Amino acid sequence: MTTSTCECDDSRRATLSRRRLLATGAAGAFAGLAGAQLDTSLAFAADPAYAGDVLVLLSLRGGFDGLSAVVPAGDPAYYTARPTIGVQKSQLIGGDAFFGLNPAMAPLLPYWTSGKLAAVQAVGQPAPNRSHFSAMEELERAAPGTSERTGWLNRMIGTVGSDDAFNAVAMGTARPARVLGGPAPNLSVTTVDALQLTGAQADRPIAATMSALYDGAPPALARTAGRLAEALTRGAQLRAAGYTPANGAAYPQTDLGAALRDVARLIKSGVGLRSATVDSGDWDMHENLGPAVAGRRMFDQLKALSAALAAFAADLGTEGMRRVTLLTISEFGRRVVQNGSGGLDHGYGNVMFVLGGNVRGGKVYGRWPGLTTAQLRDGDLAVTTDYRAVIGEILRARCGVADLAGVFPGITASGLGIVNAR
C-alpha cells in the first residue's frame, strides 16, 4: 500500500532472508513468506485452549487526521481553524449532538448504528512526536522509558500464543517491523495465494534445502525449519481451496481491500490466527486535503477505507465478528489549523476506531479537551487517553491477556467500557 513520502517511504515489503531465518532460531520471528488465501472448509490445528478474539490491527500510516473522520461539530473552534476543509454540520452522519462522522464513512454507518463500531477521540502517545519514523517506532514498541525493544503485538502473542507461525500474520505489501518484532513466531505475507518463500524458484528450493540442512538437528534448531515447512504446506492447501467472500461482501480493488480479504480468509479457515496486522498508507496530507465531497483527497481515501472495513465485517458475518476485534492506530494526528496549502501538518491527538461483534459502539469515547488556543498542546489536539490503555482494555476483556504489564509496561487498562468482557 502507498505510504507517505513526507519524511520516508515507510512501506517495507515483506521478505524473509535465509540469514534472518537462521538467526532467529527456534524462538525467532518467522516473518517473510509472501501472501495467500484461505477457505472455511479447511481444518487446521488451532489451539482449542485459546478462547479470545482475533485482534486485527490496522495501522493508518502517515498521520491520520481524526478530526476529519470524527468531526467535533459542537466545538466552534473547529470551523474557525478549518475554513475551507472543515466538514460541515449538514454533511455529517451518525455521531451524536457533539460529534459526527464524515459522510465518506457511509459504508460503515450500519455498523455504527447497530453498535458494532465505536471511536475514541483525543487519543495518542504519551508525548508529541512529529517524526514519522520515530513516532511509528515508539507507537509499535509501546514501552517508553524502558529498555524493551520488542513490539507490543509480539509481546501480546507471547502471552497468549502457542509455538505456531500462524498465531500472528502481517498481511499485505508492507510489514510493520517493530510491532511484531520479537521472539514469538509470526508470518509476513503479501497475499495468501502467493504464500511462498521470497526468492524461492524451481531451481532454488529454499524450503527443501532448509529441511535437509536441519534434518537430525537438535529440536531447538529443527523447530524453525519445521515451522517453515508446515507454513508452506498450509499455504499450498489454502491456495488449492480458493476463496469466495461470504454474504455478498464486495471488497474494493485496493491493496487494503485485498489484505483484509485475506485476513478474513485466515480467520474463517481455523488456521489458529490470533492477531493480524495490516497497513493503510498515504494519510500524510500536507496539501489539498479538500472538502468532504467526492473527488477530493481525504474524502475519497476515507471512503475507500470505510468500504474495505465494511466488506471485511460483512464477509465475516455476525457470528464471525463475535470473535474479532479490529482497531486502528496512527503515529500521530494532524494540526488543528489548516495550512496555506489547504492541508494539515503533523500534529498530536487523534482518533482510534474499534470494530467488532462485542464492541459497545455507536458512540465516541474519551474526554474531549477542546480546540481553543488555550486548550491545544502546542497547536495540536491534546491527548487525554493513552492509546495503550485503550488497547489494554481490549486485550484484557477480549483476548485473555491477564498480565497487561507484560505487553504495556506501566499501563493500566482504560475503564472506557468500549467492549463487552468475555
End-to-end CA separation in angstroms for the chain: 34
- In this prediction, residues 63-79 reach a mean pLDDT of 98
Residue 22: what pLDDT?
27
Q: What is the pLDDT of residues 273-286, one digit of tens each?
A: 999 999 999 999 99
Query: Domains in the chain and their CATH numbers?
Result: 18-406 (3.40.720)
pLDDT at 175 over 80: no
What is the predicted pLDDT for the residue at 35? 34
pLDDT given at position 177 = 65
Distance, in Å, from the CA atom of 197 to the CA atom of 194, rounded to the nearest integer, reads 9
Stretch 246-266: mean pLDDT: 97
Residue 49 pLDDT grade (very low, low, confident, very high; cuts 50, 70, 90): low
- pTM to 2 decimal places: 0.88
What DSSP character marks residue 57?
Answer: E
- Predicted confidence (pLDDT) per residue in 194-235, tens digit: 876 666 667 767 777 777 777 888 877 777 777 777 778 888
| pLDDT at residue 130 in the model | 96
Residue 401 vs residues 159, 161, 395: alpha-carbon distances, Å: 7, 10, 5
* Dihedrals phi, psi of 159, to nearest 5 degrees: -80, -40
The packing angle between helices 297-321 and 255-269, to 10°, is: 10
Quote the pLDDT of residue 47: 54
**pLDDT averaged over every residue in the chain:** 86
* CA–CA distance, 115 with 109 (Å, rounded to integer): 10
Choose among 239, 322, 324: nearest CA to 42.
239
Q: Rounded to 5 degrees, what are φ and ψ at 204?
A: -135, 70
Specify the range with the lowest mean pLDDT, choosing from 96-105, 152-161, 203-212: 203-212
d(CA 381, CA 67): 9
